[in-house]
Amino acid sequence: MITEEHATTEQQSPEIARMLRRDVRTVGLIALVMAIVVVIGVLTHPSSHARTTAAPAAPVAPSATVSAVLSEWHIGLDQTTLQTGHYTFNIDNTGTIEHELIAFKLSSPSQTIPLDKAGDVNEDALTSATDGENLVPGGTQTRTVDLTAPGAYIFMCNIAGHYHNGMHVIVTVTR
């Protein structure tokens, strides 16, 4: 004789079997997806033990633009060490008086800067790298500067008294 409890279990068995088959399929599908993810990961991210023949990364190209801010008794450059090349200088006079930005190639960073009797730089005794028009207060200027020769350059404002008051900065150009 079949009890009520026994009959309920027999009736549930096909449903339990279907649930188990569905759960096995779900687990199998999850395992398949995980295997695919692992294979994709291995293919796109070779292990550190794998030999690669990729060429070393090329050196980063220097910035082709240098920002220069001129103000009373200061020249601010956003870069003072550059690789050889041609640079666009964006010059901004934020001061209250006229300034200029000129540059000369030096024989060394410690080269003595030749001064005239008034204490201003004797520009004729140096090798010019760039020259331009004076900038009025609030004025801007853009110019290309040839810095293809490695070494030291001095950037300055040589309006009377400005160099003496500290308007100069050394820039180092490397290969």
Sequence ranges of the domains in the chain: 1-54, 65-174
Residue 29: the pLDDT is 58
Per-10-residue mean pLDDT of the chain, 175 residues long, equals 50 63 64 60 48 39 83 97 96 98 96 94 95 97 96 97 96 96
- What fold is seen in the domain 65-174? Immunoglobulin-like (2.60.40)
CA distances, 1 to each of 5, 8, 10, 129 (Å): 12, 14, 14, 111
Whether 102 contacts 131, CB under 8 Å:
yes
Is the pTM higher than 0.85? The answer reads no
Strand bridging mode 74-77 / 65-71: antiparallel
Paired tokens of 112: 């003595």
Strands (E), 107-167: 127-130, 140-147, 151-156
Distance CA 140, CA 143 (A): 10
Residue 51: the pLDDT is 41
Whether 145 contacts 87, CB under 8 Å:
yes
Distance CA 103, CA 113 (A): 12
Residue 3: the pLDDT is 52
The amino acid sitting at 7 is A
